[in-house]
Copies of this chain bind each other. A is one copy, B any other.
Amino acid sequence: MKSVAREGLREVTEMRTHDAGMLRREHAGSEVRLAGFVQRRRDLGGVIFIDLRDRSGIAQLVFRQDISAPSLELADRLRSEYVVCVTGRVVVREAHAINPKIATGEIEVEVTALEILNAAKTPPFLLEDGIDVDEMVRLRYRYLDLRRPEMQRTFRLRHQVMQLVRQFLDARQFIEVETPMLTRSTPEGARDYLVPSRVHPGEFYALPQSPQLFKQLLMVGGFERYFQIVRCFRDEDLRADRQPEFTQIDIETSFLTQAELMSMMESMVAHMVQETLGVTVSLPFQRIPYQEAMARFGSDKPDLRFGMELCDVAPVVKNASFKVFADVLAKGGEVKALVAPGCGSFSRKEIDDLGKFAARYRAKGLAWMVVEETGVRSAIAKFFTEEELSAIVAHTGAKVGDLILFIADQKKVVADALGALRSHLGKQLGLIDESVLAFAWITDFPLVSYDEEASRFVAEHHPFTMPRVEDVPLLDTDPGRVRAQAYDMVLNGYEIGGGSMRIYQRDVQEKMFQTLGFTMEDARSQFGFLLDAFEYGTPPHGGIAFGLDRIIMILAGQSSLRDVIAFPKTASGTDVMVMAPSPVEKKQLETLHLELALETEAAQK
């Protein structure tokens, strides 16, 4: 190792012969060169011990008066996070000094030469797992946060998942094709991020919300099996679990049936889980039609790690004298119940809190009954006969000590509120086995839904989704009842992927646009190229897109997408490390043929 004229500035020669974390008893006697960060320093009676950390793990360095003499003074200056390069000899530790907790615990490295490659200030927080630090501080010093072992593990997992997906698809003749990032703004769905053009004054590119049209055009182009792990963008109001840019595993196939595609995709996900977590998932995943999922779980992304299914109590309450239930049913609404096991002991306040929780989902009221040895206790018990109460208890399957919760409302409110209550209670009551990965497919989504505000039908998935063949006649009479050839993959209460078979014929696509209230002129101006493409021999095709960030979040056991994205944005879309977005020079805007239109002059630069 060459010495340096100027500390830390060196024409570098080889800095490392071994990874620190890989040293074992069999290396004893070897001369090694290691490089990495100082994890900690201890000084025991003139002997200095350093835990040296590199990406592979930790090795203990020891500086002794005799052999390390030339470096001892330098070693005394080492502090946490200093970057060093050392030469030394691997020795087996004395029996009492062996540390079985670390992989290199049987050895240490007696240092003969030390070079400080870089010094370090004291980090603003401890670089270890389980820290309780304001997330803004972690994000501002992201380059330090990333040194923490759990972050290193998360991004290695993310890397591994990406490679596994690619290998799986490559082995099945999929090819990865890159689609444009600078593309065209489309009116449907979420807001686009726009990119002004310098060369074409007054015109804009849009960043893709997904490569949907391009992947369909690749099928028209005869590629048959396409994938891409691709960045997508949505300028939405951000919630805790959204990011303005996110990564999609994007897939499209030709000449495969929906069943063939779903089967291949669940194998891919099972393979990913097997190889990363060592968990074997049984195949095929259960298929649950959308209507069934909504009926049983009040959700199209049910958490299947626990039961507590919704129960339609209309048959046992419709003839009772409780007017609230009867009225709702008479108006075409629903009355459904949820049995909270063992919650008969809930206080009035606890039950009221559940009512407030349900109100967030627009439920006007939450009725309840407690099943006791002696009968049913409830504020509404008086509106029912003993026989009716027994029938309700029997119908819901509630047992003594259970709490039955009722919501009577429009179908959607009942599903949303009871579905949310189910998830809430599932967590609160500890019904969820965190070690389980509960996968399922939700199928047969509605093709369109009526948007009251826009006074028209809007696509539930996107306007290129194929209806189920037997439902096509309904497009003319009752579009809301048409089922789509669309499917979501769900895992533990999250949607992790969604896809559909696509319309591949121009006349069907035109009919779909009509259903959505597009004039043919609108359709042509937005999607003319796709309608054109459909005239030149488009194969039957369909695909899916998985949310990579969400998948990694679940597999890594994290609760925030920000913990699985290397440089994430905050909830206001800000990168607090580089400080983006930021004001730009006026002349940059001039070049782009733009002026700011700010409400206050003061905000202008």
- Give chain A's interface residues, CB within 8 Å of chain B: 5-6, 8-16, 35-38, 53-55, 81-83, 85, 117-121, 123, 141-147, 151-152, 155-156, 158-159, 162-163, 166-167, 170, 173, 175-185, 191-207, 213-214, 217-218, 220-225, 231, 233, 235, 244-245, 247, 255-258, 260, 468-470, 472, 501, 504-505, 508, 529, 533-540, 565-567, 569, 572-575, 577-584, 588-599, 603-605
- Say yes or no: A195 contacts B194, CB within 8 Å: yes
Residues of chain B within 8 A (CB-CB) of A179 are 566-567
Residues of chain B within 8 A (CB-CB) of A566 are 177-179, 214, 218
Say how far A174's CB is from chain B's closest CB, in angstroms: 8
Q: Which residue of B lies closest to A568 (CB)?
A: B180
- Say yes or no: A9 contacts B505, CB within 8 Å: yes
CA distance A368 to B85 in the complex (A): 58
- Say yes or no: A207 contacts B194, CB within 8 Å: no
Interface residue from B35, B151, B605 paired with A255 (Cβ < 8 Å) = B35
- Say yes or no: A535 contacts B205, CB within 8 Å: no
- Say yes or no: B598 contacts A595, CB within 8 Å: no
With contact pairs A194-B592, A195-B194, A569-B182 given, residues A581 and B200 touching in the complex (Cβ less than 8 Å): yes
With contact pairs A183-B580, A220-B143, A575-B183 given, residues A598 and B201 touching in the complex (Cβ less than 8 Å): yes
CA distance A199 to B580 in the complex (A): 12
Residues of chain B within 8 A (CB-CB) of A202 are 583, 596, 598, 603-605
Q: Which residue of B lies closest to A79 (CB)?
A: B537
- Say yes or no: A223 contacts B257, CB within 8 Å: no
- Say yes or no: B469 contacts A572, CB within 8 Å: no
With contact pairs A12-B257, A15-B256 given, residues A233 and B537 touching in the complex (Cβ less than 8 Å): no
Residues of chain B within 8 A (CB-CB) of A118 are 504-505, 534, 537-540
List 14 contacting pairs A-B, 8 Å CB cutoff, sorted by A: A11-B468, A12-B540, A118-B540, A144-B220, A147-B221, A158-B176, A182-B193, A185-B588, A193-B205, A194-B196, A194-B588, A197-B581, A200-B573, A200-B574
Interface residue from B5, B144, B167, B184 paired with A580 (Cβ < 8 Å) = B184
CA distance A247 to B16 in the complex (A): 32
CA distance A15 to B256 in the complex (A): 7
- Say yes or no: B37 contacts A469, CB within 8 Å: no
CA distance A182 to B147 in the complex (A): 23
| Nearest 6 A/B pairs, CB to CB | A146-B221, A120-B537, A203-B581, A81-B537, A184-B580, A159-B175
Say how far A140's CB is from chain B's closest CB, in angstroms: 8
With contact pairs A37-B222, A121-B536, A218-B146 given, residues A231 and B13 touching in the complex (Cβ less than 8 Å): no
CA distance A193 to B180 in the complex (A): 14
- Say yes or no: B37 contacts A198, CB within 8 Å: no
- Say yes or no: B540 contacts A233, CB within 8 Å: no
Say how far A551's CB is from chain B's closest CB, in angstroms: 14
Residues of chain B within 8 A (CB-CB) of A575 are 180, 182-184
Interface residue from B256, B540, B565, B572 paired with A200 (Cβ < 8 Å) = B572
- Say yes or no: A146 contacts B223, CB within 8 Å: yes
- Say yes or no: A203 contacts B536, CB within 8 Å: no
Q: Which residue of B lies closest to A159 (CB)?
A: B175
Q: Which residue of B lies closest to A573 (CB)?
A: B199
With contact pairs A180-B567, A578-B183 given, residues A221 and B144 touching in the complex (Cβ less than 8 Å): yes
Q: Which residue of B lies closest to A152 (CB)?
A: B222
Residues of chain B within 8 A (CB-CB) of A605 are 202
- Say yes or no: B217 contacts A143, CB within 8 Å: yes
Residues of chain B within 8 A (CB-CB) of A247 are 178
CA distance A120 to B468 in the complex (A): 24
- Say yes or no: B143 contacts A536, CB within 8 Å: yes
